[in-house]
Amino acid sequence: MRTIQFREAVCEAMSEEMRRDEAVYLMGEEVAEYNGAYKASKGMLDEFGPKRVIDTPIAEAGFAGIGVGSTMTGTRPIIEFMTFNFSLVGIDQIINNAAKIRQMSGGQFNCPIVFRGPTASAGQLAATHSQAFESWYANCPGLKVIVPSNPYDAKGLLKSAIRDDDPVIFMESEQMYGDKAEVPEEEYTIPIGVADIKRAGDDVTIVSFGKIIKEAYKAAETLAEEGISCEVIDLRTVRPLDYDTVIKSVKKTNRLVILEEAWPFGNVSTEITYQVQEQAFDYLDAPIQKINTADTPAPYSPVLLKEFLPNSEDVVKAVKKVLYK
């Protein structure tokens, strides 16, 4: 099987769906002439032309609104934000229009649109360019939220997102665009809302998603050397969230650690904690541990940023805590 980069997987997914359906188009800042800010749309302008790969001004509210409105004429837009930090400028279009069109029109209109781009921290980009908004968007009924952690999942899930008849928030990472993995050349999709057990284990369940899951993998390797068997679950989709896979794993391991790159108040890990104690309380042999960023804006200083972000050492400590070691 060939090995390709995350950015190439994203580009392939969009291109394949645009060949399959002429209603699909891509719009955003620098997606056309520049081949994408992160080269995730390289070559697409040449293949599909300027009517289907559209450069925009720096006006997120404008082009997000154009995309939402165009769905009511039969199109299926992909709207790229250079970073989801910039989506806040267009969040009214996402929350008040895209997420609500189906219900407020009494089912007369759906809104098949994908908003995609990088989320969370990407190095020293300071407080206003390092924020994770997964839980913000997942809080809104009417939206689906996908956060893949590798090229294979990214391609399969993005193809499913583009085909979906509801608005989908598809969150990537600037620090993953160069990641490489095996991706089939043949057609495939991955269903939205299905988590994946990336590593089987018996002693403790670790749940994560997005690029921060790499720290869970590192921790699992370290703990394995000490004879501790970790089951690592990649949520892949945070709305709808695959509670069944998490609950089934917790009933087997009896312990749960959740790793999420987000502020600690009211996030995805908080929701999982509630659902597990509600549905599997009698199976827990220790309190659930959740690991998040520091409860501050992201710092610019590399020393402070290292302290701000969760890491594999934090995961190791949390696992040992639930194991009473």
| Residues annotated as catalytic (active site), given as ranges | 60, 129
Ranges of beta strands (E only) in the chain are 3-5, 24-28, 53-55, 76-80, 114-118, 144-146, 168-172, 180-182, 196-199, 204-208, 230-234, 237-239, 256-259, 289-291
Residues 6+ apart with CB under 8 A from 247: 275, 276, 279, 280
For the four alpha carbons of 142, 167, 172 and 29, in that order, the dihedral sign comes to negative
Ranges of beta strands (E only) in 93-193 are 114-118, 144-146, 168-172, 180-182
Contact yes or no for 173/120 (Cβ under 8 A): yes
Contact yes or no for 94/87 (Cβ under 8 A): yes
Q: Which two tokens stand for residue 138?
A: 């997942």
Contact yes or no for 210/156 (Cβ under 8 A): no
With b for 16 or more beta-carbon neighbours within 10 A and e for fewer, the 224-256 pattern comes to eeeebebbbbbbbbbbebbbebbbebbeebbbb
Pairing assessment for the beta strands 76-80 and 24-28 based on DSSP bridges: parallel
CA distance 7 to 180: 9
Q: Which of 268, 154, 120, 164 minimizes the C-alpha distance to 207? A: 268
CA distance 57 to 168: 23
Query: Three-state DSSP class for 130?
Result: coil
Count Cβ atoms below 10 Å from residue 100 Cβ, excluding itself: 16
Ranges of beta strands (E only) in 56-97 are 76-80
